[in-house]
Amino acid sequence: MALACLERLTYAYPGAPPALQDVTLTLAPGEVVALLGPSGSGKSTLLRALSGLVPHFHGGRFAGRAVVAGLDTRRARPAELAGTVATVFQDPEDQVVMTIVANEVAFGLENLGTPPAEIWPRVERALASVDALHLWGRKTVELSGGELQRVCLASALALEPRLLLLDEPTSQLDPDAAALFLAAVERLGATVVLSEQRVGRALELATRALFVEDGRLLLDAPTPDAHEWLAANRPSWTSPSVVPTQSPTRPSETVLALRGVAFGYRGGPAVLDRVDLSVGRGEIVALSGRNGSGKTTLAKLAAGLLEPDSGSVRRVGRAGYLSQDPGRYVVRETALAEVALAVQGGEARARAVLERFGLGWACARHPRDLSSGERERLAIAAVAVAEPDLLVLDEPTRGLDPHRKLELGRWLEDYAAAGHAVLVATHDHELPAHRRIGLSVETTQAPLAGELVAV
């Protein structure tokens, strides 16, 4: 018997065109389903329909039927479905309610009326199942993104749901943390719907794949068939998005030179110590490393947003910086105004850059109405429009689907080839780079040579 089914489901958010159109789908107990699709295609909406958040929380127009564990979601509110269904959202910071980890995991159990004597044992089991038992008494504000996301998964698992919905849960994690997270999902035994932009990993885990585009379900097939369909119809989704990178052709004038740089945040230990790094014109340098290894700090020092405690930073020309999670930091009322901000309102230039990033249609839209992937692209456009000599990007592929990531890689190559220098802090080894520099606590506490790892 099916655990959940959507029957000819069409849904539109208030005042918006349909986000889902005529979607029919059945989920059997124990299935692991990969939910794929471009950013803004309707994946998150589909997950919300399965949890009842659509239409109850968001309002809008809803047609068709969604039945989960025998409950019609038009009548059953999300709080009633909680326990049967559990959701892990994309950004862990937006879903944490309590201050202490154990209390956070207990929160859902308390809401569901679990007998008090059962609560702490279930919290313990859930934290242990995601290798996070050591976090029991820690404050949630002090955890890394990876740790917090595992706590969110534990909070969902503690409810022992029959249907677990995961909305790009690894987008903020480094590869090791993402692997740990997905390994925990693999051990569950519940029905899982996993929305992911890291297609390879999702398909390894899943027995079945769905592909959504423009709100329509284009593919619903077992994983092997899905591989074939993707290869034939969406080739960029099956092959890694590595763009062939050639060495910089012109003589490389140094645009950025860090010498013996040390830095520590107020009241904290040194994050970087005696770091040397240089980036030349026409060159793309990638900084990789685990969460907390100092990539963001190094990127901010390079862009001039932080001043080193000691050592020197020399830059030639202007620097532009794209922060992590840039979609959160929008400051204007329309996408066009957001991009035009850096060029003193030069709308023609801003419009051209928006077109270049596939957002020409969104000029008049409010940035906060865009999907997370679209916002990320908007933020890149808002920095790139001023054509800085040194472009520093911090995790620019987060939330980007494979096709958009390929486009970003090509754009970065073009940008470097036009005589700019690019420094990218990224977990993503599929982005093109002339040099890759691996950061670890050991390397950031010791002299770091720019030519550590050459590609």
Q: Which residues bind another protein (CB under 8 A)?
A: 51, 53, 56-57, 77-80, 82-83, 85-87, 89, 91, 93-95, 97-100, 103, 106-117, 119-120, 123, 141, 155, 159, 265-268, 300, 303, 305, 318-323, 325-326, 328-331, 341-342, 368, 379, 382-383, 386, 388, 392
Question: Based on CB atoms, which residue is closest to another protein, 58 or 216?
Answer: 58
Question: Based on CB atoms, which residue is closest to another protein, 282 or 388?
Answer: 388
Name which of 302, 449, 308, 277 is nearest 390 in CA terms.
302
Question: Based on CB atoms, which residue is closest to another protein, 218 or 316?
Answer: 316
Question: Based on CB atoms, which residue is closest to another protein, 21 or 155?
Answer: 155
Question: Based on CB atoms, which residue is closest to another protein, 6 or 379?
Answer: 379
Q: How far is the CB of 49 from another protein (least distance, A)?
A: 12
8-state DSSP, 12:
E
Rg of the Cα atoms in the chain = 23
Q: How far is the CB of 90 from another protein (least distance, A)?
A: 9
Q: How far is the CB of 411 from another protein (least distance, A)?
A: 17
330-334: Cβ within 8 A, 24+ apart? 330/367, 330/368, 330/375, 330/378, 330/379, 332/367, 333/366, 334/363, 334/364, 334/365, 334/366, 334/367
Q: How far is the CB of 331 from another protein (least distance, A)?
A: 4
Pairing of strands 18-27, 254-264: unpaired
Question: Based on CB atoms, which residue is closest to another protein, 142 or 414?
Answer: 142
Q: Within a 13 Å sphere around the CA of 451, how many CA atoms are in the beta-carbon half?
A: 1
CA distance 451 to 62: 56
Q: How far is the CB of 89 from another protein (least distance, A)?
A: 6
CA distance 58 to 51: 12
Q: How far is the CB of 96 from another protein (least distance, A)?
A: 8
Question: Based on CB atoms, which residue is closest to another protein, 19 or 392?
Answer: 392
Provide the terminal-to-terminal Cα distance of the chain, rounded to the nearest Å: 52
Cα dist. 205→186, 408, 426 in Å? 7, 27, 24
Q: How far is the CB of 233 from another protein (least distance, A)?
A: 33
Q: How far is the CB of 321 from another protein (least distance, A)?
A: 3
Show the CA angle centred on residue 295, arms to residues 290 and 298, nearest 5°: 160
The token pair at 395 is 């995790």
8-state DSSP, 343:
G
Question: Based on CB atoms, which residue is closest to another protein, 399 or 402?
Answer: 399
Cα dist. 127→1, 146, 167, 283, 290 in Å? 31, 14, 20, 44, 22
